[in-house]
Structure 1
Amino acid sequence: MITLAAERAEDWWEVEALFDLCFAPGREALSSYRLREGVPPVPDLSLVARDADGILAGAIRFWPVRVGGRAALLLGPVAVHPTHQGEGLGALLIRDSLALAVDLGWRRAMLVGDAPYYGRFGFDRLEGVTMPPPTNPDRVLGRALAPGAWDGVRGDVTPWTDQP
């Protein structure tokens, strides 16, 4: 049995170790990490999945960003421990966290990833949205969490600030 819960401060390093295992420590060199520097993840949307013994099986984080000055969520990373891959845990983390994002009033989510995988969760290529280089524009995907939320939203993806 797997249980999902909000990531707590004491989970941080265990989650980081899982991300390192799944993505390698060099993951922090990716352009998306520049958008996360100095900005905490969205606490209500950063989830951990634990098995019946309390062992970390998976995790997902979301970060607030701006796209053309408009608020958006940057999904990722999401990872599942190799011993639990193929069980649908990644899909569960994505679906449940996106449902929470809707409940919390977020209007749009985006990520950098594979369209064939993330398309099943409603993500499509974002035209006119530019991630910091060297991001492949074909991998910049978005999902409206409210009707029309991406309509007319264009521009650079920039780090979150308290200013709109």
Structure 2
Amino acid sequence: MYALSRETADDRWEVEALYDLCFAPGREALSSYRLRDGIAPVHALCLVARDPDGILGGAIRFWPVRVGRAEALLLGPVAVHPTRQGEGLGGLLIREGVERATDLSWPRILLVGDAPYYSRFGFRQLDGVEMPPPTNPARVLGTGNWAGITGRVTRWGAEEGH
């Protein structure tokens, strides 16, 4: 059993260590990280999962972005400690994060990931949504209201065409 709570400043370095453990070296060189530079995550949606002993098992973050002129959330990173994988913890974090985002009236969420895994949470490939290169377009997935939303994904606060 895990307790989910909002990530706090006290969790930051432990969460960063988890991301370092779970992702390849140089993870911060990925194009999705350029969308996060200098932008605060949506703190109400950044969650940690701890076991009854208080040990961090997983974490998820969400960041505001623009797709064309529309608002969206960028999900990620989401990570589960290798010793806790296969227990459904990643799914718990994703479902809870998406539910909270919906409750806060965020109309759409996107991510870069594997469709076979994320489709179980309602994510599907987004046509016409362009992540910064070198992102594989087949890995750009979204959930929520994407009707008529196309364009480049840009940093929150960036204006289309600038």
Q: Which of 137, 153, 158 in structure 1 is aligned with 2:154?
A: 158
> Partner amino acid for 1:153?
I
1:25 Cα deviation from its structure 2 partner: 3.2
Partner Cα distance (2:34, 2:123) in 1: 22
State the percentage of identical aligned residues: 69
Is 1:131 matched up with 2:131? yes
1:83 Cα deviation from its structure 2 partner: 1.2
1:161 Cα deviation from its structure 2 partner: 1.2
The 5 Å alignment of 1:83-94 reads: 83-94=83-94
> Partner amino acid for 2:63?
W
Cα deviation 1:112-147 (Å, max 9, x = unaligned): 000000001000110000000000000000101xxx
Partner Cα distance (1:57, 1:152) in 2: 38
1:10 Cα deviation from its structure 2 partner: 1.1
Q: Flag as ranges the 4+ runs of structure 1 deviating above 3 A.
A: none
> Partner amino acid for 2:122?
G
> Partner amino acid for 1:64?
P
Partner Cα distance (2:50, 2:157) in 1: 32
1:24 Cα deviation from its structure 2 partner: 2.8
Q: Secondary structure at the match of 1:25?
A: coil
In structure 1, the residue matched to 2:50 is 50
Equivalent pairs counted in the alignment come to 160
Partner Cα distance (2:117, 2:143) in 1: 13
Is 1:5 matched up with 2:1? no
Is 1:35 matched up with 2:35? yes
Q: Secondary structure at the match of 1:91?
A: helix
TM-score by length of 2: 0.96
Partner Cα distance (1:48, 1:69) in 2: 31
> Partner amino acid for 1:157?
V
Partner Cα distance (1:85, 1:138) in 2: 25
1:162 Cα deviation from its structure 2 partner: 8.1
1:163 Cα deviation from its structure 2 partner: 7.1
Partner Cα distance (1:50, 1:162) in 2: 35
Q: Which runs of 5+ in 1 are unaligned?
A: none
Partner Cα distance (2:63, 2:25) in 1: 19
